[in-house]
Structure 1
Amino acid sequence: MPKSPAARGGMLPLLLSLALAACSGQDEKAGPPPAMPVTVATPLVQEVLDWDDFVGRFEAPQDVEIKPRATGYLQAVHFRDGQYVRRGQLLFTIDARPSQAALAQARAQLARAQATLTNARTELARSRSLAAERAASTEEVEQRQAGLRTAEADVAAAQALVRAQQLNVGFTRVSAPISGQVSEARVDPGNSVTADQTILTTIVSTNPLHFGFEGSEALLLKYQRQNGGSSTGAPVRIRLQDETSYVHGGRLDFIDNAINTGAGTVRARAVVANPNGFIKPGMFGHLRLAASRPYRALLVPDTAIATDAARRVVYIVDKAGAVAVRPVVLGPLIGNLRVIRSGISPSDRVIIDGVQRAARPGAKVVARPGRIPLVTGPEPAPQPPSTPPSSIATAVGAGAPGAAGQR
C-alpha cells in the first residue's frame, strides 16, 4: 500500500539525521591529518671567499700612433692590416734618395774638413821648426795654431752633420716601437708624408691588458683597512659579455691617488693576461674583486630560504619531528647555495625540499635525510647583488668536516 505524502515528509528529517551522524562518526575515526614528508640536511660547512662586482672595460697598456720622422713619398707597407708585430719590425719605407744624397754631401764636407785639418797640422809643425831656428816669428806659430783649432772644429761639425744625415736616412725606415697588434695602414704607397705629422697607423699592446673600473669610496676604505693600508695585489676574476663564467684571472695593480668628488668614486685598474690576443682593448667586462680573506661559512640551498614579512627565515626539524622557524642573516650566493651569516648551527636539520608543505611552526613532519652537494671552484653564473658590500662568493677548498657529517 503506497505511503501518503505526509509519511514521506516525516521520514526525510530522520534520513538527514542518520547521514549527519554517519559523517560525524567518520570524522572522529579519521583523526588529525598525516605528517607530510620533507627532505632535511645539515648546512654545508665550507671555506669560501667573498667577491665584489664591478663593471669596466679593457685597455691597452701601450697605445702608440706611428708617425714618420722623415718627409717624403711613401714607398712600401711591410705588414698586413691587423697582424701582430714585434718591436723593431719594419712597417713602412719612405723614399730615401733625397736623404742619401744629403748624406753623401755631408760626407764630402767631412772629407774636405779632414784634408784642411791635415794641412793645418803640417803647417803648424813647419812653423814650429822654423821658429826654433829663429826663421819664423812667434806670431806666425800662433796663427798656425789658431788655424789648426779651426780645422778641428770644422771636422767635428762635419762629423755631426754626417751623423744627422745618417739618422735621416734611417728615419726613412719606420719600425714598430712596441710589440702589439697593428691597425690598418692609413696611407697608401705613393702618397707624401710629413715628418711628425702624418699618422701612418697605430699599435696597441695586447698582452697583458689593463681592466679599468670605478669603485666607491666605502669599498676603497674597506680594502685598505682589510689589507693594512695596501689596496693593490688582490686577485680578480673577469668575464666577457657573452661568457657565463669568470674565467679570466688577474690582479689589482693600481688605484688612483684621489677620489672623484663629483661621483664619490675612485678609478682602479687590474692586470689581466691575454696570451692569445682574444681580448681586444675597449671590450666591456664584469670584474669580481676579492672582498674578504677565506673563511668558513654555513651554506644552504637558496630555495630553502623563505620570507616572513621583513625577515628571511629557514625551517628546521627538531628531534621530535616538529617544524621550527629560524630567522637568518644572509650572505652572498655560491651557485645555488646561500651563505648564512647567523641564525643556524652546523647541526641543525634544515628543510631543503618540501618547505611549502611544512611552513607551519610546530607541525609534525616525516624527515627524510638529504645532502647538500659540495661546491668546488669559482662560481660560474653571475648573480644579482644580495647583501652589501659583497655580492658573490666562491668556494676556496673542498667540503669541511661539517659537510661530511650531514645526515
Structure 2
Amino acid sequence: MPSKRKLVAASAISLAIVAGVAAIYQTFGGESVTSSVAAAAPPAAEVDVAAVISQSITDYQTYSGRIEAINYVQIRPLVSGTIVAVHFRDGATVNKGDLLFTIDPRPYQAEVDRAAAQLASAEARNGYASTDWARAQRLLTDNAIAKRDYDEAQNADREALSAVKAARAALETARINLGYTSVTAPVSGRVSRAELTVGNVVSIGANAPVMTTLVSMSPIYASFDVDEQTYLRFLSHDTKTTVPVRIGLANETGFSRQGVIDSVDNRLDTSSGTIRVRARFDNADGVLVPGLYARVRVGGGAPHQAVLVSDAAIQTDQEKKFVLLVDKENKVQYREVKLGEQHEGLRAISDGLQPGDRIVVNGMQRVRPNDAVKPNLVQMSGDAATTKGSS
C-alpha cells in the first residue's frame, strides 16, 4: 500500500509540472517563443554581385621594350676652326636646317675669293687660247701655218679649258667648306647640350669632337623582343603591318598609344629564343624620348567570344584560382577558374564560368561556400565594381 501511494504522488507531481509549463506557454504566447528562436539565426550576409561580361576580344601578348629614336645624329665639324656662336638652348626642339653652331668663316671666305680669282684668270686664258685655236684653223685651211704651230694652238686651247674646269671645281669646294662653317640640323628633333662652346677650336678627321647630339622625335620606335611562338603566330606573315600593337609607359596602368609594326629582325637569337621587333608610334606631343621603358602589347588572330571579370573578384587557393559564384537560390558556390590575358582592365576567364553567371565582387571575406547571401547587383568594372545605375 505505501508503494502505490508513492507512485500516485510522483505521477501527480509530473502532471503539475506539465500543467505549469503549459500555463506559462499560454501566458506568454507560443508565437513569442518561436520568434525568439528565429531571431537567434544569423541574417544573410549582404555582398556585391556582378554578372560576368561576355564580349568579342582579340588575344594579346605583353612584352618589355625601350623607346628608340628613328634618327640619332652626332653633330661633328666638317671644317676646322674656332666656334664663334652657339645658336640653340640645351634640350631645345629644332627643325631641319636650323643653325646650331657657327665656326669662324673668315678663312673660308678668303679661300672662296681666291678660288674665284683663279677661275677668272683661267677663263681669261681660255678665251685667248680659244681665239688662237680658231685663228690656227683658218690659217691651216689656207695652208698658211706650220702643222707644229697648229698642234700647239690646239693643245693650248684644251689645256686652258681644263684649267677653267679645275678652277671652277676649286671654287665650288671653297664654297662648300664655307657652308660647313654654319653647322645646321640635318633632321628635325631635339638637341642635347652643347658639348663645345664659343672659343673652342675644332678640327676634322678621326678625332673630330662631338659638338652635340640630335634625335628625331616623331615618329619614334619602340623596340622589344618577342618569343618564337608569337613571331610564328602573328609576325611571320606579309600582313604583319596590320598587327595591332600598343604601348604603356611606366606611370600608366593601361596602353595609351597605338602604333604599327615597322620591322622584324632577320634572325632569331638562339641564346634567348627571341627576335627583335620595332614598332613605330606617333609622338607629336614629344612625351616619348629615347631610352624610356615601355610595356608593349602585341595582338593578332581572329576575334573570339570570351568571359571577362574584375581581377578583384579572383581569389587564390594555394596554386588554384577561384571565384565565389552566387546561384539562382542566392547561395554561394566555390568555382575554380583558369585565367587568360587582361583586356581593358578586365581579366579573361578561359574556363570555369559561363555567360550569365553572377560572382561576388565585394564582401568575399564575409561568406563561405553554401552560405545564403543577400546579393546587391552591381556592374563589372576593371578597377572596382560600381553600383548599378550609379554614375
Assess same fold via TM > 0.5: yes
Name the SS for the 1:328 alignment partner.
Answer: strand
Alignment of 1:7-406 (within 5 A): 36-37=44-45, 40-196=49-205, 197-224=208-235, 228=237, 230-290=239-299, 292-306=301-315, 311-319=320-328, 324-334=333-343, 337-352=346-361, 355=364, 359-360=368-369, 363=370, 365=372, 368=375, 370-373=377-380
Partner of 2:14: none
Displacement of 1:133: 3.3
Name the SS for the 1:261 alignment partner.
Answer: coil
Change (3 A) 1:329 1:152: same
Name the SS for the 1:249 alignment partner.
Answer: strand
Instruction: Tell me the amino acid that sits aligned with residue 86 of structure 1.
Output: N
Name the SS for the 1:76 alignment partner.
Answer: strand
Residue by residue, what CA displacement relative to the aligned partner does 1:313-372 show, whole Å, maximum 9, x if unpaired?
444455556655444332234577432223333244445556556534xx4735636243
State the distance in 2 between where 1:76 and 1:52 align: 51
Give the conservation status (yes or no) of the 8 Å contact 2:62–2:296.
yes
State the distance in 1 between where 2:243 and 2:62 align: 14
- Calculate percent identity across the aligned residue pairs: 36
TM-score normalised by the chain length of structure 1: 0.75
Change (3 A) 1:110 1:222: same
* Structure showing the higher helix proportion among its residues: 2
Name the SS for the 1:271 alignment partner.
Answer: strand
Report the more deviating stretch, 98-107 or 55-64: 98-107
Name the SS for the 1:266 alignment partner.
Answer: strand
Report the more deviating stretch, 180-189 or 327-336: 327-336
Displacement of 1:129: 3.0
Give the conservation status (yes or no) of the 8 Å contact 2:246–2:296.
yes
Report the more deviating stretch, 116-125 or 317-326: 317-326
Structure with higher RCO (Cα < 8 A, 6+ apart): 1
State the distance in 1 between where 2:345 and 2:120 align: 84
Instruction: Tell me the amino acid that sits aligned with residue 91 of structure 1.
Output: L
Displacement of 1:64: 0.6
Residue by residue, what CA displacement relative to the aligned partner does 1:354-400 show, whole Å, maximum 9, x if unpaired?
6556534xx47356362433x5xxx789xxxxxxxxxxxxxxxxxxx
Residue by residue, what CA displacement relative to the aligned partner does 1:15-54 show, whole Å, maximum 9, x if unpaired?
xxx9xxxxxxx99x95996783565554222233443222
Give the conservation status (yes or no) of the 8 Å contact 1:51–1:292.
no
Change (3 A) 1:53 1:116: same
Change (3 A) 1:201 1:129: same
Give the conservation status (yes or no) of the 8 Å contact 1:301–1:372.
no
Give the conservation status (yes or no) of the 8 Å contact 1:38–1:353.
no
Give the conservation status (yes or no) of the 8 Å contact 1:66–1:199.
yes
Partner of 1:389: none
Greater Cα radius of gyration, structure 1 or 2: 2
Change (3 A) 1:278 1:43: closer
Name the SS for the 2:139 alignment partner.
Answer: helix
Aligned residues: 351
Report the more deviating stretch, 135-144 or 57-66: 135-144
Structure 2 segments unaligned to the other structure (5+ residues): 1-17, 19-32
Displacement of 1:178: 0.8
Change (3 A) 1:347 1:35: farther
Displacement of 1:131: 3.1
Structure 1 segments unaligned to the other structure (5+ residues): 1-17, 19-25, 382-403
State the distance in 1 between where 2:263 and 2:81 align: 43
Change (3 A) 1:109 1:338: closer
TM-score normalised by the chain length of structure 2: 0.77
Residue by residue, what CA displacement relative to the aligned partner does 1:82-104 show, whole Å, maximum 9, x if unpaired?
11111111111112222222222
Instruction: Tell me the amino acid that sits aligned with residue 370 of structure 1.
Output: L
State the distance in 2 between where 1:128 and 1:201 align: 61
Partner of 1:11: none
Displacement of 1:63: 0.8
Report the more deviating stretch, 135-144 or 264-273: 135-144
Name the SS for the 1:370 alignment partner.
Answer: strand
